[in-house]
Chain A
Amino acid sequence: MSVYNPSTLERPDSIEELISILKDSQGSARIVAGNTTIYELARQGAMVDVDKLIDISGLGLAYVREIEDADNQRSLRLGATTTFSEIASNQLLSKPPYYSLGETASKITPPQVRNMGTIGGAVCSGIPFYDMPTTALALGAKMSIVSDTGSRLVDVSDFFVDYFVTSLSQSDFLTEIQFKYEPNSVTSFEKLGRMAADFAVVNVSTRIVFEKTTRFVENARIALGAVSNTPVLAIEAAEYLKGREFSPETILKAASLAAEAVSEPMPSVHASSHYKKKVIPVVVRDALLSARDRVRSGGS
């Protein structure tokens, strides 16, 4: 219940200015995007060494764009300060390969958090029971990061490191998240909370890519959140689906394999490990079934 009283609030106008502020502050600054998490961190005493807040809302990073590069490879770019509400309502995201992004955003509660919270904030907080990190992992996102030493793309698999910890260094800044367009794919997101407006007890995000000419699965990614210190991929389950038909039977088998991927789910005040273990296959199954519904409705 401590009062948080940072001494400075910076409002950079450009990414260059931001990078220079980050470099100068040597870890004593914290970036504020939607401001839905900072206050709670401060209240819990996690901000005692931070005396400067950097408001990045003026950097023009709220956007949803689809880009086609020189090799005709399409990809989606979500600016770091794009809010969940913008993601939930954007028409570009109604395409099956991106569908789970809007679905995830719309299941973040309550509406006030959807209106303020941003995708950049959601992933950079490194909070494993948030919803967006799971979907970013399922979609194989690339994190576009700049720092005083230049810019780089980091694969999502290398981004989430530990509970509340990402691979970002003190001088790094996430500008956007990129999602490759997978033409023959469907995606889905499922979340189980205790109540309608709640953090996830378990969340699951999927992407199923089909072979071009058959109904068989070319590859699958199934990500689970709120079960470990970072979101995790259910690799065996995904491997199992590869080359198989995407049927209720294979889905059930994959769901039980996914449950085995997490031997001891991380307990929380919201649910015990035992309960999580019990419901993981249910949520995975429902996520896969909902992906399958999208195939059947001509989605891919």
Chain B
Amino acid sequence: MATTELISVKQTGQDVVGQSLSRIDTRLKVTGKANYTRDLKLPRMLFGRIKRSPFPHARILKIDASKAKSMEGVKAVITGEDFPPATSEDSPPLAVNEVLYHNQAVVAVAATNPMIAEEAINNIEVEYEELPFVTDPEIAMSEQNVRSIIKHPGESTEGHNIGKHLRLRRGMEIDKAFSISDHVIEGTYTTVMETHFQMEPLTFLCQADPDGGLTIWCTNSGAHRAQYDLARYLGIDPHLIRAKVPFLGGWFGSKDESHIAAICAMLALKSKRGVKLELSREETMTASGVRHPTKIYIKDGVTKDGKIIARKIRAIYNGGAYGSQANGNVKAALMASVSVYNIPNAHYDIIRVYTNLVTGAMKRAPMSYQMNWAIESQTEKVAVELKIDPVKFRLMNLLHNGEKNLIGETIDSVTNEQCLTEVVGAFERGTGNQHSTSAWRTGRGIAIGAKMGYGGAFQASVRLRENGRVEVLTELVENGGGILSGVAQIVAQEFSIPLSDVTMMPLIFGNDTATTGFTQGASGSRQLVDVGEAVLMACADVKGKVAKVASARFGFEIADVDVRQGRVVSKTNRGKSIPLSQLFEKAPIRGYRTVAYFVEDTEFVGYGTLFKQFGELDPNTGQATTERAVAYYQSVAQAVELSVNVETGRMKVHRIVAGMDAGRAINPAIVREQITGSVIMGLSACLGEELIISDGRITNANLADYKVITSLDAPSIEPIIVELPHRDGPFGAKGVGEASILPTAPAVRSAVYNAIGVWIDNLPITPENIVDALERKEREAEKLN
């Protein structure tokens, strides 16, 4: 586990950035006082329940809810017809005409208690005509498939059931590049459907408001996201929607399901009462969003001295029934594969396919996770087949700053080589673990990767008080990662004040669209970088306002003013300063027995807006059409030591050294925790997580049958922070929440090969898969004899 040396929050304002200060939300959380959506209640609140499809694909012939509607205590019954017609490939809140996956929401009720709501659901009769279904994307997209065609309004499909097809074409015609290669090596790699396993299942609480609008508390990644999504789903003015996001009990991409929030909202609008809609764990696992299963084919052309000169990838992402935001985010799969290796000739096709399964959604390092599994698995295999040390092989093929990546950007502040060499160095300094029993074999492996950073629109405001206290009012979703602390440290640094003199309003009130400017929300680990940048702009703005008043009234030069430690100070003459309070007027209350402060003519509130947009990729070649296509690239590398039991296939992972480029670590303890958490999540998925699908249905949607690892399975994890400040981020920071999940599974796979000489190409690497692979190897060896 990561060791964290925490420093008391009473630390002075000097150099707060870069310190492992203890988190400002810790006390609330460990004392159970932090409120999550599940904790909230409204007077006379109703309880929502959803009736779901028993079939993976069926036509809805008739919904008879008359019996439910006549029950005492039932206050609203809604179906898909209650919503405006869908205008995109997004999941509808409730199915209309057809259900496209098992457990899809069909009817919803609100009743005075959960038992009545449950009974009402059971009293609703839905008549279906079963239709053929398809769960294999390669079958779904083939021209021969005429059994299940999934069409959504407003989508641009090419061919059968294809939601999105991204292409990368670089260099010469790829077959020609293979023909001049010394070796051509192929591999096929698969990943499975995973749930996020966030602690808090999806929950919504909504009330109808007197102006015809509504207020909703929700487990979404952003309040403004929920607001605008809901406006679209409900067909009402977004400014009649007040969306609030309290603390989130874990996120990992799991909580962007605004179509489910829309069910709660519609129940509240129809019943004109407060409605709570809590999804069960089973509903969260089967009917919200999942990690896309994939099948990825890779073919490499390599010179005899180990240079990859051609790479062809065909990646099939099983998208499930709807587009959600995933069609738009297929780009993340491409971006994971363009800035690690320098490959002159590349031909990639990345295809997201509709099937009759729950929608593929975002999970920690979405889309890129699967691509990195395939690419690193393949890269390791090529190195081994060429008999070149895998570290050396990677070093020979890495991209470096100043070189053009596969989509034509000149890359900058990338630490591919530094990450890899620092991890290998630390790994080799550690002692090896060996198992004495004859059945255990020890192996070591490495893998690397890179994740893209996103842009978007972000607004923030800060208010400066007469005693130097700063209040930060912006949308910052605390999904567990420590973002409130990170941004508070940036502000404390900016005003040279102790962390305790910064009030983060989201810690007090949660997030609320009625009181803050717009932000894009939490996804893509973007809050620290992008909201952080907007907050810095707001800090500069308020300092400008202070400068104007200080100049008019105290003769400061506007450009010379800084605000530090509650004082207006001259930048050039540190001796010249006045307390901030001198810029404030005193307001008499009760004849000056109570005194309030205000600024004449203005308020010391600063605003910042960051709008970071990047160019589109050329649809035919995937090449960047502008200088930059993403915010940044972030390198990661990991080395794993483990032992495998050749009799049972059981694995003990002893040690993982995990390096990640943080740009600049604002709070190193939090960065190390994010690395550790990502590694644990990656290892858990690698060792056994799988939503098993049988007959179009997920069969293990419970915590006993869907296995995640526990602390008993966790290895020693040594996080390494690599710092090369980025030109854009606040103090050079990059987002740190996701990238470290990328290399874990392929590094484990490399170590398994190193230990027992078999390649596991299909995740998860379960004991059973290991035993099967060993059996295959034995059979092949027998054949050769």
Contact = CB atoms under 8 A, between A and B. Distances in A.
Nearest to B280: A1
A89 to B, nearest CB: 19
B650 A198 contact: no
Contacts of A192: 648, 650
A3 B115 contact: yes
B282 A1 contact: yes
Closest CB pairs A-B (n = 3):
A196-B712, A3-B118, A275-B768
Given A1-B283, A195-B710, A271 B648 contact: no
Nearest to B703: A40
A279 B705 contact: no
A5 interface: yes
A244 to B, nearest CB: 24
Contacts of B118: 2-3, 5
A212 interface: no
B485 to A, nearest CB: 30
B713 A195 contact: yes
Interface in B246-264: none
Interface in A11-50: 40, 43
Given A275-B767, A283-B648, 11 more contacts: A3-B114, A5-B115, A43-B702, A192-B650, A269-B692, A269-B705, A270-B707, A275-B771, A278-B775, A282-B439, A282-B647
Contacts of B687: 194-195
Interface in A187-222: 192, 194-199, 201
B708 to A, nearest CB: 8
Nearest to B684: A195
Nearest to B714: A196
B186 to A, nearest CB: 28
B768 A271 contact: yes
B705 to A, nearest CB: 5
5 contacts: A194-B766, A195-B687, A195-B710, A196-B713, A271-B767
A247 interface: no
Interface residues of B, number: 30
Interface in A267-285: 269-272, 275, 278-279, 282-283
Contact of A278 (B704, B707, B771): B771
A192 B768 CA distance: 12
Contact of B767 (A1, A3, A194, A197): A194
B709 interface: yes
A192 B650 CA distance: 9
B637 to A, nearest CB: 26
B700 interface: yes
Interface in B729-785: 766-768, 771-772, 775
A71 B771 CA distance: 52
Given A40-B702, A40-B704, A272 B768 contact: yes
B768 A197 contact: no
A194 B771 contact: no
A55 to B, nearest CB: 21
A270 B648 contact: no
A269 B710 contact: no
Interface string B623-660: 00000000000000000000000011110000000000
B156 to A, nearest CB: 36
B668 interface: no
A110 interface: yes
B66 interface: no
Given A269-B699, A275-B767, A279-B647, A194 B114 contact: no
B524 interface: no
Interface in B433-459: 439
Nearest to A285: B647
B506 interface: no
Contacts of A272: 768
Contacts of B677: none
B498 interface: no
Contacts of B280: 1
A201 B648 CA distance: 11
Contacts of B771: 275, 278-279
B93 interface: no
Contacts of A40: 702, 704
Contacts of B772: 275
Nearest to B281: A1
B746 to A, nearest CB: 20
A2 B687 CA distance: 31
B648 A198 contact: no
B688 interface: yes
Interface string B670-695: 00000000000000000110001000
Contacts of B648: 192, 279, 282-283
Contacts of A5: 115, 118
A34 B244 CA distance: 39
Interface string B391-427: 0000000000000000000000000000000000000
Nearest to B690: A269
B699 to A, nearest CB: 7
B101 to A, nearest CB: 16
B705 A270 contact: yes
Interface in A99-126: 109-110
B704 A195 contact: no
A199 B704 contact: yes
A195 B115 contact: no
A146 to B, nearest CB: 32
Contacts of B712: 109, 195-197
A194 B282 CA distance: 22
Select the residue from A40, A269, A271, A282 with max chain B CB neighbours within 10 A: A269
A275 B766 CA distance: 11
Given A279-B647, A282-B647, A195 B768 contact: no
Nearest to A278: B771
A6 to B, nearest CB: 11
A196 B710 contact: yes
Interface string A151-193: 0000000000000000000000000000000000000000010
